[in-house]
Amino acid sequence: MPKKYFKKFLPSHETVKQSRWIRPFGAWLHHPNLWHLHRRSVAGGVAIGMFCGLIPGPFQMIGAALLAVLFRANLPVAMFTTLYTNPITIVPLYVLAYELGAFVTGQHNELSAIHFALPEMSWGNWYAVLSGWIISLGKPFAVGLPLLAVILAVIGYFAVRMLWYAMVVWEWRRRAARRRRSL
């Protein structure tokens, strides 16, 4: 099962409690759902990661970590899932968000694909450049981005729940077949 495979890479609950980096956060990071792999915490982690993956700028993992702690979902899964957005996928996702927002609001600014390309940024001006770029996309983008984030989160949550259920049923049937063969 995938759970057994991934469990090798996750820290134990005791290791997390003893970590000098996590200790200052007290009981916030000690809830078992933040670290254990079960269908609710993993599905919640994927949903949070899918939602936070569309946050513009470098705040994706911070947002995923905060929401995972708030909703007690699997923290590593939530942070890892944000990586579905990267320099290759972010522009198509933002175009999709813009088109979804244009459909919902009925406004379409007829922007070219070059307008969706992220502008040149540096450490000193990234916030001003990024906020100016987002504002230039207008209301369709402002409506479409959170809407797409919610849609992806819901799809991710239910996909994990269904896949988890299918894997459990498959494992039950495999065990039953093994038992029948051994009789």
pLDDT of res. 4: 64
pLDDT of res. 53: 95
In tens, the pLDDT along 45-76 reads 999 999 999 987 678 999 999 999 999 999 99
pLDDT of res. 100: 94
Segments of the chain with pLDDT less than 70 = 1-27, 57, 109-122, 126, 130
Distance between CA atoms of residues 45 and 171, nearest Å: 23
Domain count, the chain: 1
The DSSP code for 87 is T
pLDDT of res. 168: 92
Q: DSSP letter string over 94-157?
A: HHHHHHHHHHHH-------HHHHSPPP--TTTHHHHHHHHHHHHHHHHHHHHHHHHHHHHHHHH
**Residue 40 CB: number of other CB atoms within 10 A?**
16
pLDDT of res. 155: 98
pLDDT of res. 135: 74
Range of the domain at 159: 2-182
pLDDT of res. 73: 94
pLDDT of res. 153: 98
pLDDT of res. 159: 97
